[in-house]
Amino acid sequence: MEDIYEQEAKLKRENCGRTIEVLDSGFVRLVDFLGNDTSIVQAARVSFNKGSKGEEKDKELLRYLMRHRHTSPLEMVEFKFHFKLPIFVARQIIRHRTANVNEQSSRYSKLNNGSYVPNHIRVQDKFNKQGSSGHAENEEEIIGIIEAGQNSAFADYDNMLAMGAAKEMARVNLPVSAYTQWYWKMDLHNLFHFLGLRLHPHAQWETREYAKAVFELIKPIVPVACEAFEDYRLNSCTFSAKEMKALKLLLSTGGKWDWVADQAGLEGLERKEFFDKIK
């Protein structure tokens, strides 16, 4: 047991306070954590009243848990982060309701974290209606418009404060690019759910940058769990009943993709998604 406490103390010395810079002036800092790979295995083995069985067996068990979605042992590990992030990114991340959050109050203190100015401007994606990709031809000009709007909004904010408006009133015209800060705590089961959604290419690039930083910060603490997450969740995919039918036909008959998709009743977007998975 003492070994586990020593292991955790060493990991804390090495990792608490680690900070990764994100976007132009944001960051994610690991403030604290509870548990590591060993605590997951220990929790799982309590079912059989046993602890660690050595590195190899422990790794096997952890990968088994992840593969079969036996997730409650992952909830024994928790991470607390300090984020500095634009409000529009915070609006996306706050949707993950399993986090415990404490955010800076712009009613109580003056907002002086600056604001996010992108260094590239993506254009609307042709396929993913919510998404963006590439570069706008006139991105310099667009970045100039963003900066001018922010400067004007923050100058108005200062003016309104000087004229006697309360902080909660003066802030009403501030842009969603303004940086805010929060403490954000989540257990590993929910964190993997968050990372699965926000590391996905469909997530907004800016939000993905925060998810990447979170993932990098937890890797040294739960390396085996992170590897299993990458193998069985992040870089894996699932097949529907129709897709399984098409795959079986593909393997047993060697038929053409279009033919097996027809036989399995895969049409439209579902058909495209199936081809994307197996190509």
Ligand X SMILES: Cc1cc2nc3c(=O)[nH]c(=O)nc-3n(C[C@H](O)[C@H](O)[C@H](O)COP(=O)(O)OP(=O)(O)OC[C@H]3O[C@@H](n4cnc5c(N)ncnc54)[C@H](O)[C@@H]3O)c2cc1C
Q: How far is the CB of 97 from ligand X (least distance, A)?
A: 3
Nearest to 124 by CA among 134, 132, 116: 132
Task: State which amino acid sits at residue 269.
Answer: L
Strand partners, 81: 30, 184
Check if the beta carbon of residue 79 is closer than 8 Å to that of residue 186: yes
Residue of this chain nearest to ligand X (CB atom): 97
Task: Label residue 215 exposed, middle or buried (CB < 10 Å: 0-12, 13-18, 19+).
Answer: buried
Query: 35's torsion region: left (phi>0), alpha (psi -120 to 50) or beta?
Result: left
Q: How far is the CB of 127 from ligand X (least distance, A)?
A: 14
Which residue lies nearer to ligand X by CB, 154 or 194?
194
Which residue lies nearer to ligand X by CB, 203 or 246?
203
* Residue in 198, 208, 233, 271 annotated catalytic: 198
Q: How far is the CB of 95 from ligand X (least distance, A)?
A: 4
Catalytic residue check, 45: no
Which residue lies nearer to ligand X by CB, 137 or 273?
273
Q: How far is the CB of 191 from ligand X (least distance, A)?
A: 9
> Where along the sequence are the contacts to ligand X (CB under 6 A)?
95-98, 130, 190, 193, 197, 202-203
Catalytic residues, by residue number, are: 198
